[in-house]
Amino acid sequence: MSANSRLTIAVHVLAWMALDRQQNKVATSDRIAVSVNTNPVVIRRCLSELREGGLVQVKRGGGAGWSLAREPEEITLLDVHSAVESGNRFGLHHSPPNQDCPIGFGIRPTLTKVYDELEEQIHQVLARTTIADVLADVLAQQKN
């Protein structure tokens, strides 16, 4: 199993855009892709999801590019998560386990309770962290 990096990439993109905002610049997918070290197509897909989530906006024509739709202090990581992730982080069996087995019978309801609690805790942590917090921490690491 591999980890999903969509949230990580989206937070990277938004932190980059917050820095651009401080410097009165407009972000482009090509510039962001260099920072993320990925293909600009990946960034454009991410930006599309973030736009649908109301977190970024695009400017066409002269000075074209992407910018934050809200202040970095107003965008929580939960907002980002909601824009780029779907469903729960923890999944159950793809097919129902054997209901005649004592473990197979009860594993799904048991794990559902545990996973629901984990999701709630994850959401609480994401809700109290903003893009401004991420940017400040990233920039502080350069000084160390």
* pLDDT tens, residue by residue, 115-126: 999 999 999 999
Q: Is residue 10 one of the residues assigned to a domain? A: yes
User: 105 in a domain, yes or no?
Assistant: yes
- Which of the four pLDDT bands, split at 50, 70 and 90, describes residue 144? low
The reply to whether 133 falls in a domain is yes
Look up the CATH number of the domain holding residue 110.
Answer: 1.10.10.10
Domain count of the fold of the chain: 1
User: Cα 120 from chain centroid?
Assistant: 16
Domain that holds residue 56: 6-143
Say if 98 falls within a structural domain.
yes
Closest CA to 88 of 112, 110, 62, 58: 112
Is residue 1 included in any domain, yes or no?
no
Confidence label for 1 from pLDDT (cuts 50, 70 and 90): very low
